[in-house]
Structure 1
């Protein structure tokens, strides 16, 4: 029992350090307000008639960095009406913890600084758009018969344009293989970046100093093309999962989001990043 308590305390200290060092690595400063979004990982949608007992699917929270408690177990974030919300408890209840990467003081205000460029590499899904139901069915059969891909589930939905969206989900072992391949393939390109490991892949950050807000989207789009990463990760207001908290889409198999590599100490300039990665804007 005593050993279990000791291990838990050690784990909480590590998670607390990961969280605080992550936000510092992004260049967050003492008086700046940090903005967070908590989204329930397993709820399909917000209750139609929320009650005091029902759970909201998402909540927006904030707090100045200098007021953040040092221990993860004690951190509370504030609602718009200044009500404190214990973040660790919410994570244990199934809420994922996301943070707005770039800086703006007000939740709906203009952005004032680029803190980082970043990508989301999701390796557990295969998404394809097919012209006919016959081709979609044929592709489903191919994937299900493919022992290499280790497909766990496949769904096909018809789009408004009459095409067919196929979404296949890979198994845990295959995702692990693809994670290792990704790091090996892009080792030179991601050298010096901060690598956050998620359940299904990686979030990769290049901390930026004196970045141009007007160039942000173009550089993000170039990164998507370079790494074939999630094409939605291009806007200034993008939120990303925070290290130190669990991914709980599968409650039976929670995954602790964590920093795998901290990267170099000195942040990048946008010009350096473009040249270093050979980005075409």
Structure 2
């Protein structure tokens, strides 16, 4: 087997195993979102294949085993080759929780999860002077390895500072995160992304009404993205490349599969001492 074939086989396994790990059933429809990593946010007025984003679906029982053969369907039932779209710059996301129709009501909680972005530092200040001082501190700190920093004024008269760290610093923070939260994330599925981790706790018998409160508690516990709270949230799928920098694509991959038995929501709350 060639090196390329071996890598494709591993990517195919990661893709399918990720879906199974979330507890997706063979008779359920899977929903995907493709978003171009570099295209302008304004959608192209031509065909859907040139749009910045598209929604796709396919019943799990009809999903091809090899990643190179996976095709999904648009709402108009047009076939879209998933791997080819990723090569053309489209990031591949999947709706984590279960609903049969892409605009229908949710019917089940498959997992609770967090998005840990170690590349981006976001802070809010009351005055422009405070934000300016913080910007100068970050730029003068060699440990942070800041590559860019911006300050924007919001409509609420606040100042939001956004700083982006370098690759070496992100790698350091990844190691630090895993060490710091070793016991907390034991048993969780960990997906490594270019800028951090997506951490999943597969759930059985979860109540839809508790989802948002638990997501918010997880974000507070891990200081992760506070926006990852809605049932409709999509997440990057392992086995596909992150292509925001076309010259340096990053393969999203599962770092740890976690334990075999899913958690209950009550068990997860106890394990992590979550305050809802």
**TM more than 0.5:** yes
Kindly indicate whether residue 267 of structure 2 is the aligned counterpart of residue 254 of structure 1: no
Tell me what 2:144 maps to.
Answer: 149
Aligned mate of 2:12, from 10, 16, 31: 16
- Number of positions where the alignment pairs a residue of Structure 1 with one of Structure 2: 276
Q: Which segments of structure 1 move beyond 6 Å, counting only runs of 4 or more?
A: none
What are the equivalent positions in structure 2 for 1:1-281 lying under 5 Å apart?
A: 6-47=2-43, 50-52=45-47, 55-281=50-276
1:231 CA drift (Å): 0.2
Q: Deviations over 1:174-233 (max 9, x none)?
A: 000000000000000100000000000000000001111111111111101111110000
TM-score, length basis structure 2: 0.98
1:128: how far off?
A: 1.0
What secondary structure, in the 3-state scheme, does the structure 1 residue paired with 2:239 have? coil
Stretch moving more, 159-168 or 242-251: 159-168
2:195 and 2:104 mapped to 1: Cα distance? 32
> For 2:178, what is the secondary structure of its paired residue?
helix
SS at the partner of 2:2? helix
Structure 2: segments with no counterpart, 5+ residues = none
SS in 2 for 1:273: helix
CA distance in 2, matches of 1:53, 1:69: 23
Match of 1:96, SS state, is: strand
Shift of 1:46: 2.3
Give the SS at the match of 2:182. Answer: coil
1:221-279 deviation per Cα after TM superposition (whole angstroms, max 9, x unaligned): 11011111100001110000000000001111110000000001111111110111111
Deviation at 1:54, TM superposition (A): 7.7
Give the deviation of 1:31 after TM superposition.
1.1
Q: Is the 8 A contact 2:91 2:236 kept in 1?
A: yes
